[in-house]
Amino acid sequence: MNPVLTLAFVGLALITVATSCSHDDPQSPSYVIETIPMPADLEAETGGLAFLPDGRLAACFTRGEVMIYDPAQRNWEVFAKGLHEPLGLWVVNARELLVMQRPELTRLVDTDGDGEADLYEKVADDFGLSGNYHEFNYGPVKDKNGNLFIALNTASYGGKIQPNTRGVVNTLGRDGADGRRQMFSAVPYRGWVMKQTPQGALEPYASGFRSPNGIGIDPDGNLFVTDNQSDWVETSTLYHVKEGHFYGHPASLVWKEGWNRGSPFDLPIEELDHMRTQASVYFPHGIIANSPAQPVWDTTDGKFGPFAGQLFVGEMNHKRIVRVMLEKVKGEFQGACIPFLDNQGLPIGNNRLAFAPDGSLWIGQIAHGWSGDKGIRRVTFTGKQPMDIYRMSLTTKGFDLSFTRPLDAATALNKDHYRIRHYYYAYRKKPFDEPIDHSQQSNIQQIGIKRLHLSPDGRTVSMELDSLKAGYVYELELHNVKSKDGMPAENQTICYTLNNLLE
């Protein structure tokens, strides 16, 4: 036998032994979190993470470094330096990366193979800069046709427009009347998602974003963007982004082709509301997420546990990331969000996520003047099946709640063990004096359960509710629902965004 293969078999046998042991131990965790050692003197504010095909990690940091980490050697090397606030990375190959920095999307190439980039080539810079500190740029991500997508943050009322702007200045994108707390778009395409075609043109793609610090493409090619709660974004969101659509923050509309309606902040709210596309998922503020970041899809086929196909989304303000499960209803994505890895050792500031080829999830932290942290954590599935809600899906009369482990029928079929309420987040202009992180749930109502049913395999609770209404978030709390072997669910609160009812 080939000696390498022999080793692999021994290794596999050891892992099998290890995992079968831990299956039975209720105390052993399903996930372990390790802190990656960072180089001395690196200000490890992580702007981007991406894996090279050989399993090494590329990471960029806000002081302008791109570094490459070899997990086998536990060793960091410099790939590029001197960049301006890089906040996103895309791997082309082991010698070539795309990096999103403040003034441009840049291709970094190690042409001579010495391990360090020697070519810093502009890919795209056809967007405005006002010098405002909040004009962050995110991405890129690439679709199957070779198009790249980036997202451009609006500017903050907390900073001015600098005198040396790039691009035409249009102050109609800045609310002067009463919106002290409105983010603004005074230079082209702030608040837009942009598409860079393989032919080289940067085109406006979709508008209405406030602070879209998370962009990702699912395995089927659907583009998703997260946005951060505040003005016009009553609670944080996950959008399914389609060409030409508007997602609700008005500032960016001034850059819509042919715009002749003056200040978009002055349009009647009904008209703006009619124009906008709803979020696929609302992340209830203070409950699930306050500041969501990058979404990644679990394409590990089980190497990362039972949630294959679902999304994991970074979150800046809780010691967690967020798990999202989507389904299509009436042809549109909607779904539920639930905390993931609460109180298991993650810090706050969870900004960038990337799955390693071995199926572990790497999470890079950032603060950058806000609440956050630094460094990189690695999350590995131990093989022990967690006790958690696997999926929440809509039915004609309520929801199906499926679990990762068979349930104890007595606790699962007790109506008192569930608390359900619904509410919605009104689309509105933030009043002049309202604090930026004030988020209002409207029409909060407790919803009663008519009937509970447990599937024969004990894994799915079907709940029939007293009422079910489109346009609401359904927040469900578990109280004392246990698995057959007595484990409580790791996460007790899940929120489903019900945009559409089943037909």
Partner 1 sequence: MKIKKYQKPIRALLVLIILYGTGLEADGAATDSARTIALEAVSGMQYNVVRFQVKPEETVTLSLTNKDDMAHNLVITEPKAREAVVNAALALGAKGPERDYIPESEQVLWTIPVTYPGEKKAVTFRAPKKEGAYPYVCTYPGHGFLMYGVMYVTKSGDGMPDLAKDTNIPEARRQEQRPARPHPYELSPPYWYRAFLEGTSLASIAVHLPQQLSYCWDMEFCQLRYAWEGGFLDNADLWHGHKNAYAKILGTVFFSDRITKPIRIGEPGAIPRVDYKGYRVRDRYPEFHYTVGDSDVFELIKELPGKRGFIRTIRIPDATEPVWYLFDDASGATYEFSAGVMQKGKVVLTPAEAREFTIQMIKKENP
Q: Kindly state whether residue 292 participates in binding partner 1, applying the rule CB under 8 A.
A: no
- H helices present in 236-388, as ranges: 269-275
| Length of the chain as a residue count | 503
> Among candidates 211, 210, 153, 158, which has minimal Cα distance to 180?
158
Please say which residue, 11 or 82, places its beta carbon nearer to partner 1. Answer: 82
Which listed residue (159, 219, 221, 431) binds partner 1 by CB under 8 A? 159
Q: Provide the minimum distance between the beta carbon of 41 and partner 1 in the complex, in angstroms, as a whole number.
A: 4
Please say which residue, 245 or 319, places its beta carbon nearer to partner 1. Answer: 319
Please say which residue, 223 or 348, places its beta carbon nearer to partner 1. Answer: 348
Please say which residue, 439 or 460, places its beta carbon nearer to partner 1. Answer: 439
Whole-number Å distance between alpha carbons of 479 and 420: 11
Q: Provide the minimum distance between the beta carbon of 430 and partner 1 in the complex, in angstroms, as a whole number.
A: 12
Point out which span in 59-67, 264-272, 298-306, 392-400 binds partner 1 (CB under 8 A): 59-67
Q: Kindly state whether residue 210 participates in binding partner 1, applying the rule CB under 8 A.
A: no
Please give the residues from 70 up to 99 whose contact with partner 1 meets the rule CB under 8 A: 76, 78, 81-85
Residue 346 near residue 353 (C-beta atoms within 8 A): no
Please say which residue, 263 or 290, places its beta carbon nearer to partner 1. Answer: 290
- H helices present in 3-122, as ranges: 3-23
Which listed residue (211, 226, 278, 317) binds partner 1 by CB under 8 A? 317
Tokens of 78: 């410099």
Please give the residues from 329 up to 348 whose contact with partner 1 meets the rule CB under 8 A: 342-343, 347-348
Question: What letter would DSSP give residue 313?
Answer: E
- Measured in degrees and rounded to the nearest 5, phi and psi for residue 479 equal -130, 105
Please give the residues from 94 up to 113 whose contact with partner 1 meets the rule CB under 8 A: 101-104, 106-107, 111
Q: Kindly state whether residue 369 participates in binding partner 1, applying the rule CB under 8 A.
A: yes
Whole-number Å distance between alpha carbons of 217 and 228: 19
Q: What is the per-residue DSSP string for 123-148?
A: EE--S-B---TT--EEEEEE-TTS-E
Please give the residues from 19 up to 58 whose contact with partner 1 meets the rule CB under 8 A: 39-43
Please give the residues from 218 up to 277 whose contact with partner 1 meets the rule CB under 8 A: none
Whole-number Å distance between alpha carbons of 9 and 68: 30
Whole-number Å distance between alpha carbons of 284 and 69: 35
Point out which span in 245-253, 275-283, 363-371, 379-387 binds partner 1 (CB under 8 A): 363-371
Q: Which residues contact 500 (CB under 8 A, 6 or more apart)?
A: 329, 330, 332, 334, 470
Q: Kindly state whether residue 438 participates in binding partner 1, applying the rule CB under 8 A.
A: yes
- Based on the number of CB atoms within 10 Å of its own CB, is 208 exposed (0-12), middle (13-18) or buried (19 or more)? buried
Point out which span in 26-34, 130-138, 399-407, 409-417 binds partner 1 (CB under 8 A): 130-138
Which listed residue (439, 460, 483, 497) binds partner 1 by CB under 8 A? 439
Whole-number Å distance between alpha carbons of 364 and 68: 13
Q: Kindly state whether residue 138 participates in binding partner 1, applying the rule CB under 8 A.
A: no
Question: What is the size of the binding site for partner 1 (CB under 8 A)?
Answer: 73
Tokens of 276: 């906008």
Please give the residues from 449 up to 488 whose contact with partner 1 meets the rule CB under 8 A: 475, 477
